[in-house]
Amino acid sequence: MCPMRLLKTAYHHGDLRNALIQGALKLMEKDGESFSLRDLAKRVGVSAPALYSHFADKDALLVAIAVCGFDKLKESLEAAIGRVADPQQQFIQMGQAYVRFGMDNPALYKLMFSGEELPAKRFKFPELQEAGNRAFQALSGMLAEMQRTGFMRPGHVDLDAFSIWAHVHGLASLIITGRVECMSEQVEGMPVIPADQLVDLSLKNLLEGFRQPK
């Protein structure tokens, strides 16, 4: 009856696959990481089984979302490096960008790294591992450059990059899951520190281990 309704219900939008991914991202923002396919289908305006024309099952959809997340993360990291020239600033800014990505997209971040046992099925979804590797390379690339120019001590690039990855991932993960406030309950009565300040201090300290011995 109503033309708007007709338009919306009209025999679908060429790109249901993408609409499902975007809709899922929105649902995750709002309701947390676990959404139901039926809710997603309703939001997008199709029946639940319609989903199976584009994804083998729920895992396949989640993988597509996570891949999308890794691509966004990689972009954030590269943008952060590009914004400054000083190597120390590049290091800090990249770490800050990493943690901020997690804080800005907590449900997505959790999905990428631990959601629904996806990582355990990584052999079934090599695309997921590959997307993760591409993001990792933004980090290891920066590190290789810093070792080459002598800003950092020589070392095994992948090993050192993995160590840094673990550090920023740990910060993001603990902050997202609310583990920072534990510090405010200590005896000394210290104020809760803002996340970016905490990350700044933590990264500067970590960097020491990678600097050239003077």
127 contacts which partner out of its own copies, DNA, none, CB within 5 to 8 A by kind?
none
Alpha-carbon gap, residue 208 to 214, rounded angstroms:
11
Residue among 71, 44, 65, 61 at smallest CA distance from 108: 65
Alpha-carbon gap, residue 156 to 144, rounded angstroms:
9
Minimum Å gap between C-beta 103 and its own copies is: 14
Q: Which residue among 8, 18, 48, 126 contacts DNA (CB under 7 A)?
A: 48
Per CB under 7 A, contacts with DNA among 146-205 are: none
Part of the chain binding DNA (CB under 7 A), chosen from 51-59, 116-124, 140-148, 184-192: 51-59
When asked if residue 18 is in the footprint of DNA (CB under 7 A), the reply is no
Q: Which is nearer to DNA, 28 or 41 (CB)?
A: 41
**Contacts within 8 Å (CB) and 24+ apart, 144-149:** 146/87, 146/90, 146/91, 146/210, 149/87
Burial of residue 156 (CB within 10 Å: 0-12, 13-18, 19+) is: exposed
Q: Which is nearer to its own copies, 9 or 205 (CB)?
A: 205
Part of the chain binding its own copies (CB under 8 A), chosen from 17-25, 26-34, 60-68, 74-82: 26-34
Residue among 168, 171, 176 at smallest CA distance from 135: 168
Residue among 211, 72, 195 at smallest CA distance from 155: 211
When asked if residue 150 is in the footprint of its own copies (CB under 8 A), the reply is no
Per CB under 8 A, contacts with its own copies among 126-145 are: 129, 132-133, 136, 140
Residue among 140, 125, 21 at smallest CA distance from 72: 21
Question: Residues in the site for its own copies, rule: CB under 8 A?
Answer: 32-34, 110, 113-114, 116-117, 119-120, 122, 129, 132-133, 136, 140, 156, 158-160, 162-163, 165-171, 173-174, 176-183, 185-186, 188, 190, 193, 198, 201-202, 205-210
